[in-house]
Each structure stands twice: as C-alpha cells, then as structure tokens.
Amino acid sequence: MLQQRKKTFDIEQHLLIEAIYHRFHYDFRGYAQASLKRRLQTALTRFNCRSLSQLQHLVLHEPEVFPAMLEYLTVQVSEMFRDPTYFRALREKVVPLLRTYPSLKIWVAGCSTGEEVYSLAILLREEGLLDRTLIYATDINPEALRIAEAGIYPIDRMAQFGTNYRQAGGTASLSEYYTANVEDALFMRSLRKNIVFADHSLATDSVFSEVHLVSCRNVLIYFN
C-alpha cells in the first residue's frame, strides 16, 4: 500500500510539473525530483490539499495560487558571503583577471533574495572594480526579486553576515555598508546603482548578454 501511494504521488508530481510548464511557462522538469517532492509535500499542508491532483486543480483554476506556490517551488535560502572560502578565492584568484578588462559584466543567476549579489558588490567595491561593473541579478521568483532590490534584511542576520564577511577577507567592517534600526538593515544605495534586477529562468530563457563572470551558487544544486 505504501509503495502504491508513493507511485501515485510520483505520477501526480509529474503531471503537476507538466501542467505548470504548459500553463505558466515555468519549467521545473529538470529540477531534482527528490527536492521537489519535499517542497510539494509542504505545499499540500499550506494549501490544505489531500493530494497533488487537488493542488493541481487549484493552481490551474485559482489565479492567486500559483504565485504563492512559487515560494515552495523555488528555494529562497541564502546568506551574505556564504562559504567564505569561495569569496576569498574570488578575491585572490579571479579579481586579478577581472582587473584586465576596462569594463565588466557579471551575472548572478538565481539570485534569490539578493545576499550573494550584495556580497559581490561589496567585494568589487573594495577591490576598486564596482564603478566599472554592471551586475545582472536574475531569478524566477518575483517576491524574491522584490526583496533583493530593496536590499533590506533582518538585523538579527547581520552578526552571521559579518562573521562570513571577515572570513571572506573583507577589508572593513560590514556595518559600514548598511544603516540599521532595531529590526532591519538597509544596504547602501551606492551598492545597488550598478545592479540590474530582472526576471529570468535558466530553464526556459536564453542568455541575454555576454558576461565576464557567471555566479549561480544558489540554483545549480537544485537541478538534476
């Protein structure tokens, strides 16, 4: 019986993902199915559905459901200077090469809520490259892009962000790049002026520009 329920769930999952692709043109067919399964199980509870077939009916027939579903289909988990050794290596090994170009284009694909984008902007500013750099920050989740463009994060996240920043080779204090109140931290507008935020799907949209560096650390782990 358990095996039969699992098989039914897998069939319904396949049909739901296909329906989303054909109706909304969001392509999750190449995403890791085990990860999708966990997120869809959570979505069943959120939308009070007993099966994915019931959830599919809601997605196709109630316009407000799919935007809310994106919160479950996309994983919005990130932090500034996550994996500091990566950013240290970027600073020490990649920046010298980037210096050889008179202007730079960098693409952060699957930028989520923007933590990686601001990390790169700070690193480039400290290395004297931000003023000649255009950063494209893209994601398929409109709500995540809204948060990213605002550049506002809960103040209780700043301690971990600051630790990561120092371990990544930061040359100042992270607090120099934001203003804070009791609840939130707002990152400097000067960091955002060289960033273009846009809706883009790696699965269905084409490359839109030649760039010198592509960073997609928030998204590749979720693909097959």
How confident is the model at residue 218, as a pLDDT? 66
Q: Is 189 left (phi over 0), alpha (psi -120 to 50) or beta?
A: alpha
**Nearest to residue 143, comparing CAs of 31, 42, 196, 67?**
67
How confident is the model at residue 187, as a pLDDT? 97
Regions of the chain with pLDDT less than 50:
none
How confident is the model at residue 77, as a pLDDT? 64
Q: Determine the length of the chain.
A: 224
Query: CB–CB of 55/16 below 8 Å?
Result: yes
How confident is the model at residue 75, as a pLDDT? 67
Six-digit token string for 199 = 């809706």
How confident is the model at residue 68, as a pLDDT? 85
What letter represents residue 82's amino acid?
R
What letter represents residue 122's amino acid?
I
| CB < 8 Å & 24+ apart, contacts of 139-142 | 139/74, 139/110, 139/111, 139/112, 139/199, 139/200, 140/26, 140/70, 140/74, 140/110, 140/199, 140/200, 140/201, 141/70, 141/71, 141/74, 141/76, 141/112, 142/67, 142/70, 142/199
d(CA 89, CA 110): 21
d(CA 133, CA 85): 23
Six-digit token string for 167 = 């371990």
d(CA 176, CA 185): 11
Question: Per residue in 95-143, pLDDT tens?
Answer: 999 999 999 999 999 898 999 999 999 999 999 999 999 999 999 888 8
